[in-house]
């Protein structure tokens, strides 16, 4: 049910309430105020199964605000680095399967190798991941993967499924603030399913190629992460990595096209990020 239909429904209820109040003549000011609060709350109810682009972007903005207010993320202050990441992200957003929403790409001041995306086009890239990438194609492959989660509305689907299983969603839907809180919890505590990750790999790879990047970047970055010794990088804990995923990607790319495209110049990449984050390399 769309927002306009909720408005019509709320207006109808208000008419009934006011008519009943006039007819019976027993409604107190406190009672009327209570009814008005319920009606206003009803206007904030959202059906996750029928979420509009505008609603999703608005929720993403609220989630983004909460992430920084709570100190979950700390923005990296260098505007040149932020501009470079936004340049890559917007290039991929334009060729994605969902280019009609605004995308926001933000650099997070965190040495852990991680990336994160939430609904409404918000993507977060840790400085640690930027440093771990050898070239722009590798970094672009991660951003393309995160855009794929947004394009496929994976966060929205997860919230709907969890909300239904835990009885948090009524027949009408969920309150906006409840959706924001659930998105915060799921984003940090519940990794994407293996099916979602494989799908994001495939969608991200196709987008990477459409944007003109060499597909070898996605394969080499995953292989690099898998080879890392010691504790698994943060990126692997939130994005379960298996040899099957790497093999699936390799099978999807004809060998003659593996290195065709932009972004494989490691020296050029170092120049773009080396001056901005010299301590990371």
Tens digit of each residue's pLDDT (9 = 90 or more) over 57-105: 988 898 898 888 888 888 898 999 999 999 999 999 999 999 999 999 9
pLDDT in tens, 217-243: 999 998 888 887 444 555 555 555 667
pLDDT of residue 189: 57
Phi-psi region of 243 (alpha: psi -120 to 50; beta: other; left: phi over 0): alpha
Q: If we measure between CA atoms, which residue out of 56, 64, 85 comes closest to residue 144?
A: 85
CA atoms of 136 and 263, how far apart (whole Å): 5
Work out the pLDDT band at 37, boundaries 50, 70, 90: very low
* Predicted local confidence at residue 156, as pLDDT: 73
Region 32-46: mean pLDDT is 45
Angle between helices 154-165 and 136-151 (to 10 degrees): 50
Residue 232: predicted pLDDT: 52
Percentage of residues in the chain having pLDDT higher than 70: 63
Neighbours of 186 (CB within 10 A): 18
> What pLDDT does residue 93 have?
98
Residue 166 has pLDDT above 60, yes or no: no
Statement: residue 50 has pLDDT above 80: no
Is the pLDDT at 183 greater than 70, yes or no?
Answer: no
Output 31 or 267, whichever has higher pLDDT: 267
- Write the pLDDT tens digit of every residue in 99-143: 999 999 999 999 989 898 988 999 999 999 999 999 999 999 999
DSSP code per residue over the chain: --HHHHHHHHHHHHHHHHHHHHHH----HHHHHHHHHHHHHHHTEE-GGG--HHHHHHHHHHHHHHHHHTTS--B---HHHHHHHHHHHHHHHHTSS-TTS--EEEEE---S--EEEETTTEEEEEHHHHHH-SSHHHHHHHHHHHHHHHHTTHHHHHHHHHHHHTT---SS-EEHHHHHHHHHHHHHHSPPPHHHHHHHHHHHHHHHHHTTB-THHHHHHHHHHHH--SSPPHHHHHS---HHHHHHHHHHS-GGGTT-SB---HHHHHHHHHTT-GGG-
């Amino acid at each position: 049910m769309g927002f306009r239909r909720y408005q019509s429904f709320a207006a109808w209820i208000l008419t009934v309430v006011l008519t009943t109040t006039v007819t019976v003549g027993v409604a107190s000011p406190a009672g009327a105020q209570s009814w008005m609060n319920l009606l206003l709350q009803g206007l904030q109810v959202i059906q996750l199964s029928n979420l509009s682009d505008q609603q999703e972007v608005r929720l993403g903005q609220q989630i983004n605000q909460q992430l920084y207010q709570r100190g979950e993320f700390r923005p990296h202050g260098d505007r040149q680095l932020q501009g470079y990441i936004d340049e890559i992200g917007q290039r991929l957003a334009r060729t994605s399967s969902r280019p009609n929403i605004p995308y926001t790409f933000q650099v997070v001041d965190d040495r852990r190798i991680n990336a994160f995306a939430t609904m409404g086009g918000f993507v977060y890239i840790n400085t640690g991941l930027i440093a771990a990438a050898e070239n722009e194609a590798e970094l672009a492959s991660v951003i393309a993967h995160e855009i794929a989660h947004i394009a496929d509305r994976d966060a929205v689907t997860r919230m709907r499924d969890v909300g239904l299983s835990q009885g948090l969603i009524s027949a009408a839907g969920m309150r906006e603030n409840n959706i924001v809180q659930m998105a915060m919890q799921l984003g940090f505590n519940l990794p994407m399913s293996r099916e979602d990750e494989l799908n994001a790999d495939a969608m991200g790879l196709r987008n990477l190629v459409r944007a003109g990047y060499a597909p070898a970047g996605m394969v080499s970055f995953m292989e690099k992460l898998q080879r890392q010794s010691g504790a698994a990088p943060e990126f692997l804990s939130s994005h379960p990595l298996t040899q099957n995923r790497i093999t699936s990607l390799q099978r999807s790319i004809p060998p003659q096209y593996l290195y065709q495209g932009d972004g494989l110049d490691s020296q050029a990449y170092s120049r773009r990020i080396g001056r901005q984050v010299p301590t990371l390399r």
